[in-house]
Structures are given as structure tokens and as C-alpha cells.
């Protein structure tokens, strides 16, 4: 009897739960339908009564966009035109003929054709002057419009009139997909490999591997990975870039609604060469993922300024009409499960590049007019002024106290070593003069890259 009662009660309870759940779904569906009817009526009323004519397309764009404005800043609705531009950035390709051009003395000059593209295959050369595009003289078209006209759907035709050494040539080209190479690389002074990554698109891993292997073949003694002003991109591409530098293991975790939903791993043994990663306040997302992994896995030194702090991951959804949206689906954590969103990555060594507009800052520097030299433990105005200047030129660990402590002595030694002065650690007259000269040089041109100089210095010491 009791069992029958329990069984009957359970069935009743479960039935009620199902009914309640179904009622909730129906209630939600009814609510959404009612809201859509309200939106439809609202748009109709606006179109009929607004002071100026407005199209349904414009109003619907505003409605779609409004949904995502209620979310985080990285969840965005794209119109079909905006979606096309967005996809060309993330996929790392666009339709065109593969020419890099610039205006020189009112002439449209070919800087270089990109290797393997229609322009290069057709025989267009650096230095060629473009006279017309599809019969229209380029002098009559704004520069950006000329560039836009050379782009277009792969498979479509374009005709260029070109002048080369006084001879006019005609090229009929068929547009194709043009890959965007986000990598620049070179060997710096002292045989150091430098790789600059502009963004993480679908081509990044391939181009990075080519650059990395080329530098390895030249037997560079270390690597500088420059991620400054890199806005991020595809996480998978960033993980591939990390592979040669960090030990095998997790390099990033993706978290959603309080749970780890995905883990990214490095799968290679790291090279045995020093690594410095450069970041700044514009390094974001996948660039921060790399910097955080290098820090947590103790695989190199991060130099620069605190990064942007975008620790979220987006997925892109497409619609049949060509529109789409980017939706934040997770946040990512570093190997030590540190959060990046809103916090950024603090470099191991903070170095602030100067802009050349900081003359007011040096007005407060103490004059270095005392005739005596200063050694470890000495105090004085010269020491205070030198500390202010050393901090300005990149020795951020130095504190302006007026006392020549060990940190200041080490900075003076390092400065003397790198500026062909006797490495005594003493703040003598030649050292004071050279420090002042360095500050003035930085302010005069505003272009000296102190962050890169620090990176070179670190690799020189570690190799």
C-alpha cells in the first residue's frame, strides 16, 4: 500500500514537473512572440510618423544592433557589408590582384606585387606607375577609391594601364584571393631574431613558421616576439605560435558560466634559446594569451607596459542574408588560471616608450651640478637627478631617493657598459653627461624604442 502510494506520488510529481517545464517553455515562447509583435508595431509606427523618411532596413539594423548593445563590448551585430569586412580580417584574405601601392609626387607607384598573386604572375614590377584602372585615369580618383577598385570578387576582371620607363603597358588581370601576411621578421644587431606579429588571422601560423625556421637557419642566439599593438584574433593561431617556446602542457583554459569548457595545449619541446615578448597597452586577447603563458611557464621575459585586458573569446554566427554577429562565449585563463579580462598582463620588466612630448616632465628633474662623484651609499642632488633620468630612459627599478643604493649602482654599471664608459658603478662627470645626453636624444626625436632596446639587452645577457 505504502509503495503504491509513493509510486503514485512520484508519477504525479514528475507529471506536474513536466507540465510545469512545458508551461515555462510555452510561456517564454508566448512572451517572445508578443515582444516581436510589439517590435513590428513599433517599427510600423516609426516609419509612418517619424519626421524624416526612414527605411525598414535601417530600423531593423538598429533593432538587431540593440540586442548586442545590452551585452559586453565585444559582442557585435554586423550588417552584410560589415560582415564581409570582418571576415576578410579574420580569415586573412581578400579578393584582389595583390599590389602594394603608394602615392609619390602625385603618381600612383607600385611598391611591390605580393608573391604568387595575379599582379606578380602578370609581370607587374616595383616602380611601375599606374595610369588608369578599367579605363579611368587614377588622377581623377581618390587614393582609397583606387585601392578599393583593385579589390573585388575573385574571378572578376580588371584592366590596368601602366607606365614603365616611358613605355605604356596594358595588363588584363583576374582577381583572386590575396593572403594577408601579418608577420614581419629580421635579424637584429648581435644576431637576435625579431618577429613582429600584427594580428592572429588564419595565415599567422603558416607565416610565423616560415619566419621562425628562417631565423633558426641563421642560428640566431635568441628571439624577440613583438606583440605590441596586436589586437588579438584566433586563439588557435596564438597557441601555434607558442609551441616552439613553451614546455608541453596547458597554455590556456576557456571558462564559461563557471566551468572550464576547453583547454589548449602546447605539444612541442621548447627551443633552448632566450625569449623576450614585447607588449603594450594595445596588446589584447590572443596576444595577452601568449604573454600570460610565457610568464606562467617561465619560458621567457615579458617587457613593455600593462596590456589591454581583453580576456574573452568570441564565436561568429552567420545569417543567410550575409549578416552575422560576434558573441562572447567564454573567458580565457592563463596556465596558472589567472584572469586577464579587465586586468591585462603586467610585464616582468616595465619599460615605457616616450613620445617626444614630455619636455614638461624633465623640468622637474634635479640639476646635476655637484662636482663630486658619488659611489654606493652616497647621497646628494646629483644622485637624485641621475635616478630621475635613469628611470626616464628605461631603468624602471630605480627609485629617486637621493641615495645611491645597489639598484642605482647596478643601473649605472649597466648604462656605463652599454655606452662605452668605464664600468665602475660610480656616478662620475662623464656618466652624468652621458645620462643627460641620452634623455635629450630621446626627447629630440621621440622615436627611440626603449622597449626593444631592453629586449636586446636581456637576450645579450642570457645568451
> Do 341 and 217 fall within a single domain?
yes
DSSP class of 138: G
CATH number at residue 387: 1.10.101.10
Q: Which residues are catalytic?
A: 285, 296, 310
> Do 157 and 189 fall within a single domain?
no
Q: Output the pLDDT for position 244.
A: 96
- Which of residues 125 and 105 earns the better pLDDT score? 125
Q: Output the pLDDT for position 17.
A: 39
pLDDT at residue 286 tops 90? yes
> Do 336 and 288 fall within a single domain?
yes
Q: Output the pLDDT for position 366.
A: 84
What CA–CA distance (Å, rounded) separates 144 from 148?
A: 6
Residue 147, domain member (yes or no): yes
Q: Output the pLDDT for position 207.
A: 93
Instruction: Return the minimum-mean-pLDDT range out of 23-27, 89-93, 187-191, 362-366.
Output: 23-27
Averaged pLDDT score across all residues of the chain: 86
> Do 109 and 170 fall within a single domain?
yes
> Do 214 and 336 fall within a single domain?
yes
* pLDDT tens column, 302-316: 999 999 999 998 888
Residue 239, domain member (yes or no): yes
Q: Binning pLDDT at 50, 70 and 90, where does residue 353 land?
A: confident
The domain total for the chain is 3
Q: Output the pLDDT for position 21.
A: 40
What CA–CA distance (Å, rounded) separates 424 from 436?
A: 18
Domain of residue 142 covers 95-179
CATH number at residue 136: 2.30.42.10
pLDDT at residue 365 tops 90? no
Instruction: Return the minimum-mean-pLDDT range out of 211-215, 405-409, 419-423.
Output: 419-423
> Do 145 and 270 fall within a single domain?
no
Contact status, residue 318 vs residue 79, Cβ threshold 8 Å? no
- Which of residues 20 and 139 earns the better pLDDT score? 139
- Which of residues 246 and 91 earns the better pLDDT score? 246
Q: Is 277 helix (H, G, I), strand (E, B) or coil?
A: strand
- Of 141, 124, 135, 123, which is closest to residue 161 (Cα–Cα)? 135
Tally of residues, the chain = 463
Q: Output the pLDDT for position 10.
A: 34
> Do 193 and 281 fall within a single domain?
yes
Pairing of strands 107-113, 249-256: unpaired
> Do 138 and 249 fall within a single domain?
no
Q: Is 108 helix (H, G, I), strand (E, B) or coil?
A: strand
- The residues, ordered by sequence, that sit 6+ positions from 124 with a Cβ below 8 Å of its Cβ are 99, 110, 113, 160, 162, 171
> Do 212 and 344 fall within a single domain?
yes
> Do 211 and 335 fall within a single domain?
yes
- CA-CA distances (angstroms) from residue 344 to 212, 241, 332, 417? 27, 20, 12, 34
Residue 30, domain member (yes or no): no
pLDDT at residue 358 tops 90? no
**244 CB burial (10 A radius; 0-12, 13-18, 19+):** buried
Q: Output the pLDDT for position 165.
A: 87
Across the range 441-446, mean pLDDT stands at: 68
Across the range 446-450, mean pLDDT stands at: 72
Residue 56, domain member (yes or no): no
- CA-CA distances (angstroms) from residue 452 to 103, 219, 301, 431, 460? 31, 20, 12, 23, 12
> Do 199 and 340 fall within a single domain?
yes
pLDDT at residue 1 tops 70? no
Residue 43, domain member (yes or no): no
* pLDDT tens column, 48-79: 898 888 888 888 888 888 888 899 888 988 88
Contact status, residue 427 vs residue 373, Cβ threshold 8 Å? yes
> Do 206 and 290 fall within a single domain?
yes
Q: Binning pLDDT at 50, 70 and 90, where does residue 359 land?
A: low
Q: Is 373 helix (H, G, I), strand (E, B) or coil?
A: coil
Q: Output the pLDDT for position 9.
A: 37
Q: Which of 263-272, 289-298, 373-382, 419-428 has the highest mean pLDDT?
A: 289-298
* pLDDT tens column, 165-193: 889 999 999 999 887 788 989 999 889 99
Instruction: Return the minimum-mean-pLDDT range out of 105-109, 130-134, 353-357.
Output: 353-357
Q: Output the pLDDT for position 196.
A: 93
Amino acid at each position: 500500500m505504502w509503495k503504491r502510494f509513493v509510486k503514485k506520488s512520484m508519477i504525479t510529481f514528475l507529471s506536474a514537473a513536466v507540465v510545469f517545464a512545458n508551461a515555462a517553455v510555452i510561456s517564454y515562447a508566448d512572451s517572445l512572440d508578443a515582444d516581436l509583435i510589439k517590435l513590428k508595431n513599433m517599427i510600423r509606427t516609426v516609419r509612418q510618423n517619424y519626421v524624416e523618411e526612414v527605411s525598414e532596413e535601417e530600423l531593423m539594423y538598429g533593432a538587431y544592433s540593440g540586442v548586442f548593445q545590452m551585452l559586453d563590448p565585444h559582442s557585435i551585430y554586423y550588417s552584410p557589408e560589415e560582415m564581409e569586412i570582418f571576415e576578410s580580417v579574420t580569415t586573412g584574405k581578400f579578393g584582389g590582384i595583390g599590389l602594394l601601392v603608394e602615392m609619390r609626387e602625385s603618381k600612383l607607384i607600385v611598391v611591390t606585387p605580393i608573391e604568387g598573386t595575379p599582379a606578380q604572375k602578370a609581370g607587374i614590377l616595383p616602380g611601375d606607375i599606374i595610369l588608369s584602372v578599367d579605363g579611368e585615369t587614377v588622377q581623377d580618383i581618390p587614393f582609397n577609391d583606387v585601392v578599393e577598385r583593385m579589390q573585388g570578387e575573385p574571378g572578376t576582371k580588371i584592366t590596368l594601364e601602366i607606365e614603365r620607363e616611358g613605355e605604356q603597358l596594358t595588363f588584363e588581370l583576374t582577381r583572386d584571393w590575396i593572403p594577408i601576411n601579418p608577420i614581419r621578421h629580421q635579424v637584429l644587431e648581435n644576431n637576435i631574431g625579431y618577429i613582429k606579429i600584427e594580428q592572429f588571422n588564419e595565415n599567422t601560423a603558416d607565416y610565423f613558421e616560415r619566419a621562425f625556421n628562417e631565423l633558426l637557419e641563421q642560428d640566431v642566439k635568441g628571439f624577440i616576439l613583438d606583440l605590441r599593438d596586436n589586437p588579438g584574433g584566433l586563439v588557435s593561431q596564438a597557441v601555434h605560435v607558442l609551441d616552439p617556446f613553451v614546455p608541453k602542457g596547458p597554455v590556456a583554459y576557456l571558462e564559461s558560466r563557471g566551468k572550464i569548457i576547453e583547454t589548449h595545449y602546447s605539444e612541442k619541446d621548447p627551443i633552448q634559446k632566450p625569449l623576450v615578448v614585447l607588449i603594450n597597452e594595445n596588446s589584447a586577447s590572443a596576444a595577452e594569451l601568449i604573454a600570460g603563458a610565457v610568464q606562467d611557464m617561465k619560458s621567457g621575459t615579458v617587457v613593455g607596459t600593462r596590456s589591454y585586458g581583453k580576456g574573452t573569446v568570441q564565436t561568429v554566427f552567420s545569417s543567410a542574408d550575409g549578416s552575422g554577429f560576434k558573441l562572447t562565449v567564454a573567458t580565457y585563463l592563463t596556465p596558472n588560471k589567472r584572469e586577464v579580462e579587465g586586468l591585462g598582463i603586467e610585464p616582468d620588466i616595465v619599460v615605457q616608450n616616450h613620445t617626444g612630448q614630455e619636455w614638461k616632465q624633465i623640468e622637474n628633474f634635479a640639476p646635476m651640478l655637484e662636482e663630486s662623484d658619488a659611489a654606493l651609499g652616497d647621497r646628494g642632488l646629483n644622485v637624485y637627478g641621475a635616478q630621475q633620468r635613469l628611470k626616464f630612459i628605461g631603468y624602471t627599478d630605480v627609485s629617486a631617493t637621493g641615495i645611491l643604493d645597489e639598484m642605482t649602482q647596478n643601473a649605472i654599471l649597466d648604462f656605463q657598459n652599454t655606452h662605452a664608459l668605464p664600468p665602475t658603478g660610480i656616478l662620475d662627470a662623464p656618466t652624468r653627461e652621458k645620462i643627460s645626453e641620452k634623455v635629450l636624444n630621446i626627447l629630440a626625436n621621440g622615436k627611440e624604442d626603449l622597449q626593444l632596446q631592453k629586449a636586446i639587452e636581456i637576450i645579450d645577457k642570457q645568451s
